[in-house]
């Protein structure tokens, strides 16, 4: 599952705070009986036959499910999951004998208890459960939900599903935990004008009055969360790869935007098939762009669904960044057809086996087919975000430990995705790509159509590599946080050595822990690279002859840890910055800024390094500037409301202005995508930092586009529209609002919403906030408006208070999961420590304990911004060059 910019945070790790040393747990292999969950393992499903009566025009639906189960021991009742459903009939068939069942609804556990009316026990052996029920269609992207598109001026409804993590139970009664794999056979009755899709191909269609009954082939055994169905008016483009029929499916009028994703899939599917040595397991692979309502993407087996902006590319409007995001999202979801679908994490505690591996493989595959994109460098921004979380108290281990079902979405977070993927990249580098691939292929063959734990994975990779992979991996997956490696060099009698000291890296410097990681440390002088396994708190390594060349630790930048150099060594690395390898440059920039954030390195050292960036002129410069932009935005946010903010912006203009002047404002013919992306990023940040010349050109370009005089270049369209929003007067604000209202696709809606939310006029900000509970756009977009205003404008307090005052309505529009984000997102503009405590208090009152993690993490981010402001604001003007 991909949640992109709204991926959930994780729950608080009660078992280990930052003040204690985490205990590295054992990693046992998969055992059905030992797998944690809510339901008992006494009743095991093998097959579902589901019949649904669906109509996109209706707010409700009806269904019937027949479940073949095996009772492993005699029990007095059967317990399974069901939520928001109303039972109308319940029967148990045992040996051909029908027994009426009484349904006891248990709202807290979201289960039904099926009690035989005759009070006789349910014997060991095979049985069939038959349940008839009704349910509700959701207006938000969870469970069975409605999405809409425009066709010939009319609104066209469709139905789609998002069942991960625990929403299958809102569509049909089920054993809704990953460990309960079973076959699913679906029949759908729907109005005949609509097309119906599911995981498997349709086997037959039968007209029934004004409706058609669609019968689909049975799936292989799979968990309930991978079940998928869609009903609506649809179009598609078709192709084939690795012997598998492919379709990209869209709302009417959008099929031409599907070709890019089809070509990407045609590259990716054969690559994955070859990499694992295991073919795609189903007879077809459909991928569907849902026209509104949903977030991100979902890897449903054989019918992957996406938000439109994660699958479709408009050749006339989509930026280079959109193309890259679409490619990587497709790479991620198609990877899940193996990681997650063919082999499924045993429980939500092991969900990283699905998501971290899909993230790792997404980057690997994207880099293979698009080497000029510099994917390993581009991954730095999400990795830094994960490290910021992991350096605080509201974090957890990758293997999360016990997961409360009502808070299960907390584990779909940057710790699982970005940290998990980065740790796998580090382990692959240590083990070697060949042995790593061999181990994964053996893992796939061994656990095919079954479940798995970390123990299964490390067993197979360990056998392939001949190394104690389990012990090294466990130090990264089974304890929270990551290390800071401090570097101390020495030269004696012509021989060089380095002493490395590790300790847990924390945003609040000075808090001690006794944690130790087994770190594959790569060290380089020039092109000579040496990798050692550091497995104690302090170790000394010989480096051969003394050398004047600076030593780089974490050479290549692939390790998930921070590096702190002595002042003289940092100065030497800064002086030779342009001569370093591209991964080394990125690692040094990232680590130095993080050490500034935590107060370990003076701000001047960071600005000295930043001043060296213009000396880099190879293709990696785009990614370096992207990271530098995010760092300057952090400083800008931290200093908001103080004179120091203007100093940050002045420095940004001084640094970035010459880079844009060098590139030119207007794109050159046939220039590389990286150059276009760099220009767009510079324009956007220079506009945010009030560079007069850039703002003047931006507004003129927008006006020329609006009048039809000169359409915006595709590569600059997003940057100019977003920059226009920052400086929009009433007339331009109204034009942006009109464009948002007319937008027919998700990419356009999000673009105009972000632009509008960036404005600096209080009256217009109020107008936009009022639209967050209106029909201005689908619920996923409008409910995000307060958070976007808080993050991108000076009106964070206004956005937060609006969210508080309208929480009930916003929560109804955003759904069970989305409502947990409302207040934390609306607090992203705060940089005063007292607001952190208020956020935690408000979140608990409005959301309950299931929202604690998101609030705790944003509270930590607020405190970090406040700490940087308190430490740096007074001396910032003096510290800044120029």
Q: What is the pLDDT of residues 803-827, one digit of tens each?
A: 999 999 999 999 999 999 999 999 9
Report the pLDDT value the prediction gives residue 15, as an integer from 0 to 100: 33
Overall residue count recorded for the chain in this entry: 882
Q: CA–CA separation, 275 vs 268, rounded Å?
A: 10
Give, in degrees to the nearest 5, the angle at Cα 735 between 733 and 740: 95
Is there a contact between 399 and 432 (Cβ–Cβ < 8 Å)?
A: no
Q: Could you report the per-residue pLDDT of 677-719, keeping only the tens digit for each? A: 999 999 999 999 999 999 999 999 999 999 999 999 999 999 9
The CATH H-level superfamily of 4-32+341-477 is: Neutral Protease Domain 2 (1.10.390.10)
| Local structure of residue 6 (DSSP, 8 states) | G
State the average pLDDT over residues 854-871.
96
- How high is the pLDDT of residue 247? 98
Indicate if the pLDDT at residue 541 is higher than 50: yes
Residue 232 confidence (pLDDT) above 90: yes
pLDDT at position 875 is: 81
pLDDT at site 876: 80
Model confidence at 663: pLDDT above 90: yes
- pLDDT attached to residue 23: 42
Helix (H, G, I), strand (E, B) or coil at 135: strand
Q: Which residue has the higher pLDDT, 152 or 853?
A: 853
The residues facing 158 across adjacent strands are 147
pLDDT digits over 357-381, tens only?
999 999 999 999 999 999 999 999 9
Q: What is the pLDDT of residue 12?
A: 31
Q: In this predicted model, what pLDDT tens digit does every residue of 401-437 receive, in sequence order?
A: 899 998 999 999 999 999 999 999 999 999 999 999 9
How many Å apart are CA 122 and CA 391, to the nearest integer?
51
Architecture of domain 43-176+183-220+223-335: Sandwich (2.60)
CA-nearest of 754, 771, 850, 834 to 797 is 834
Q: Are 24 and 474 in contact (CB under 8 A)?
A: yes
pLDDT at 153: 79
Does position 160 have pLDDT exceeding 50, yes or no?
yes
Contacts of 141 (CB under 8 A, 6+ apart): 147, 162, 290, 293, 294, 295, 780, 815
Cβ–Cβ < 8 Å for 156, 232: yes
Write the secondary structure of 703-734 as one string of H (helix), E (strand) and C (coil): HHHHHCCCCCCHHHHHHHHHHHHHCCCHHHHH
pTM: 0.95
35-92, pLDDT tens digit by residue?
Answer: 999 999 999 999 999 999 999 999 999 999 999 999 999 999 999 999 999 999 999 9
Least confident of 484-493, 663-672, 692-701: 663-672
Residue 332 marked in a binding site: yes
pLDDT at 10: 31
Residue 834 has pLDDT above 50, yes or no: yes
**Whole-angstrom Cα distance, residue 476 to residue 502?**
14
Residues with a known catalytic role: 333
Express each pLDDT in 575-609 by its tens digit.
Answer: 999 999 999 999 999 999 999 999 999 999 999 99
Q: What is the C-alpha separation between 231 and 145, in angstroms, rounded? A: 11
Q: Are strands 450-452 and 343-345 parallel, antiparallel or unpaired?
A: parallel
pLDDT computed for residue 879 by the predictor: 55
Look at residue 243 in the predicted model and tell me its pLDDT. 97
Domain spans, the chain? 4-32+341-477, 43-176+183-220+223-335, 746-882
pLDDT of 3 over the 50 cut: no
SS3 labels along 247-267: EEEECCCCHHHHHHHHHHHHH
| Mean pLDDT of all residues belonging to the chain | 94
Residue 513: its pLDDT value, please?
A: 74
Residue 848's pLDDT band, with cuts at 50, 70 and 90, is very high
As a whole-number percent, the residues of the chain with pLDDT over 90 amount to: 91
Q: What is the DSSP letter of 195?
A: E
Average the pLDDT over 488-497 and give the result. 95
- Inter-residue contact 233 to 151 (CB < 8 Å): yes
Structure tokens at 413: 């977070």
Instruction: Examine the pLDDT at 216 and tell me if it is beyond 60.
Output: yes
Token pair 């850039």 is found at 694
Residues 425-476: pLDDT tens digits? 999 999 999 999 999 999 999 999 999 999 999 999 999 999 999 999 999 9
355 annotated ligand binder: yes
- Whether omega for the bond prior to residue 683 falls within 30 degrees of 0, making it cis, is no
Strand, helix or coil for residue 843: helix
Least confident range of 502-516, 556-570, 597-611, 786-800: 502-516
Under the banding of pLDDT at 50, 70 and 90, the label for residue 667 is very high
Q: Which residues have CB under 8 Å from 779's CB, separation 6+?
A: 139, 140, 293, 813, 814, 815
Domains 4-32+341-477 and 43-176+183-220+223-335 belong to one CATH topology: no
Within 8 A by CB and 6+ apart from 830, the residues are 796, 800, 836, 839, 862, 865
Half-sphere exposure of 133 (CA within 13 A, CB side): 26
pLDDT band at 510 (very low <50, low <70, confident <90, very high): low
Confirm or deny that 259 is annotated as ligand binding: no
């Amino acid at each position: 599952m991909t949640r992109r910019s709204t991926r959930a945070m994780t729950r608080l790790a009660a078992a280990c705070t930052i003040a204690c040393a985490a205990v590295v747990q054992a990693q046992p292999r998969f055992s059905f009986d030992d797998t944690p969950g809510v339901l008992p393992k006494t009743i095991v499903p093998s097959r579902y036959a589901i019949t649904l009566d669906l109509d996109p025009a209706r707010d409700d639906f009806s269904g019937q499910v027949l479940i073949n189960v095996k009772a492993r021991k005699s029990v007095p009742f059967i317990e399974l999951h069901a939520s928001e459903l109303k039972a109308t009939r319940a029967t148990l068939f045992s040996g051909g004998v029908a027994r009426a069942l009484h349904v006891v609804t248990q709202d807290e556990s979201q289960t039904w208890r099926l009690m035989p009316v005759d009070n006789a026990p349910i014997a060991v052996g095979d049985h069939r459960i038959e349940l008839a029920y009704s349910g509700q269609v959701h207006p938000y992207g969870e469970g069975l939900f409605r999405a809409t598109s425009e066709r010939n001026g009319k609104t066209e409804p469709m139905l789609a599903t998002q069942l991960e993590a625990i929403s299958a139970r809102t569509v049909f009664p089920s054993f809704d935990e990953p460990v309960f794999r079973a076959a699913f056979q679906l029949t759908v009755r729907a109005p005949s004008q609509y097309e119906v899709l599911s995981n498997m191909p349709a086997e037959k269609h039968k007209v029934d009055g004004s409706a058609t009954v669609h019968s689909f082939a049975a799936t292989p055994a799979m968990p309930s969360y991978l079940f998928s169905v869609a009903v609506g008016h649809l179009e598609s483009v078709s192709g084939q790869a690795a012997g598998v029929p492919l379709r990209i499916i869209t709302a009417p009028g959008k099929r031409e935007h599907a070709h890019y994703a089809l070509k990407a899939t045609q590259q990716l599917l054969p690559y994955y098939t070859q990499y694992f040595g295991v073919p795609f397991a189903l007879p077809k692979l459909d991928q569907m762009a849902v026209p509104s309502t949903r977030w991100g993407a979902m890897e449903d087996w054989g019918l992957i669904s996406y938000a439109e902006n994660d699958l479709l590319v408009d050749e006339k409007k989509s930026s280079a960044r959109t193309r890259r995001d679409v490619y990587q999202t497709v790479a991620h979801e198609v990877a899940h057809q193996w990681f997650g679908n063919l082999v499924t994490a045993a429980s939500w505690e092991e969900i990283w086996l699905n998501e971290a591996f899909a993230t790792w493989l997404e980057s690997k595959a994207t880099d293979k087919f698009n080497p000029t994109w510099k994917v390993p460098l581009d991954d730095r921004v999400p990795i830094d975000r994960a490290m910021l979380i992991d350096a605080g108290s509201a974090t957890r281990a990758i293997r999360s430990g016990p997961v409360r079902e009502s808070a299960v979405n907390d584990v779909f977070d940057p710790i699982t995705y970005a940290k998990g993927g980065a740790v796998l990249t580090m382990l692959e580098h240590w083990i070697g790509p060949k042995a790593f691939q061999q181990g994964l292929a053996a893992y796939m063959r061994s656990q095919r159509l079954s479940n798995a734990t970390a123990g299964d994975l490390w067993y197979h990779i360990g056998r392939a590599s001949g190394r104690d992979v389990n012990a090294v991996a466990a130090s990264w997956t089974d304890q929270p946080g990551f290390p800071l490696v401090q570097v101390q060099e020495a030269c004696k009698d012509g021989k060089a050595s380095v002493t490395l000291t590790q300790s847990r890296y924390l945003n609040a410097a000075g808090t001690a822990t006794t944690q130790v990681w087994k770190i594959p440390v790569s060290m380089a002088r020039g092109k000579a690279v040496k990798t050692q396994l550091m497995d104690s708190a302090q170790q000394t390594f010989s480096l051969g002859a003394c050398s004047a060349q600076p030593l780089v630790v974490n050479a290549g930048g692939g390790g998930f840890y921070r590096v702190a150099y002595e002042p003289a060594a940092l100065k030497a690395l800064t002086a030779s910055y342009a001569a370093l390898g591209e991964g080394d440059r990125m690692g040094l920039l990232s680590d130095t800024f993080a050490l500034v954030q935590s107060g370990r390195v003076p701000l001047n050292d960071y600005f000295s390094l930043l001043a060296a960036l213009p000396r880099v002129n190879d293709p990696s410069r785009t990614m370096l500037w992207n990271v530098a932009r995010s760092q300057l935005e952090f400083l800008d946010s931290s200093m908001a409301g103080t004179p120091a903010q203007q100093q940050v912006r002045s420095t940004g203009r001084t640094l970035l202005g010459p880079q844009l002047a060098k590139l030119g404002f207007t794109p050159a013919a046939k220039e590389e995508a990286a150059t276009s992306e760099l220009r767009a990023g510079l324009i956007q940040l220079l506009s945010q930092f009030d560079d007069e010349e850039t703002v003047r050109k931006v507004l003129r370009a927008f006006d020329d586009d609006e009048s039809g005089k000169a359409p915006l270049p595709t590569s600059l369209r997003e940057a100019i529209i977003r920059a226009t929003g920052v400086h929009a007067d009433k007339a331009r604000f109204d034009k942006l609002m009109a464009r948002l209202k007319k937008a027919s696709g998700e990419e356009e809606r999000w673009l105009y919403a972000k632009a509008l939310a960036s404005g600096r006029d209080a009256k217009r900000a109020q107008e936009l906030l009022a639209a967050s509970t209106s029909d201005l756009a689908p619920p996923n977009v409008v409910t995000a408006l307060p958070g976007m205003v808080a993050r991108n404008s000076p009106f964070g307090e206004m956005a937060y208070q609006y969210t508080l005052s309208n929480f009930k309505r916003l929560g109804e529009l955003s759904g069970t999961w989305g409502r947990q984000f409302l207040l934390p997102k609306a607090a992203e503009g705060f940089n005063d420590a007292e607001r952190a405590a208020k956020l935690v208090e408000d979140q608990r009152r409005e959301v309950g304990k299931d929202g604690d993690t998101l609030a705790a993490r944003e509270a930590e981010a607020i405190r970090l911004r406040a700490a940087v402001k308190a430490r740096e604001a007074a001396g910032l003007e003096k510290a800044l060059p120029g």
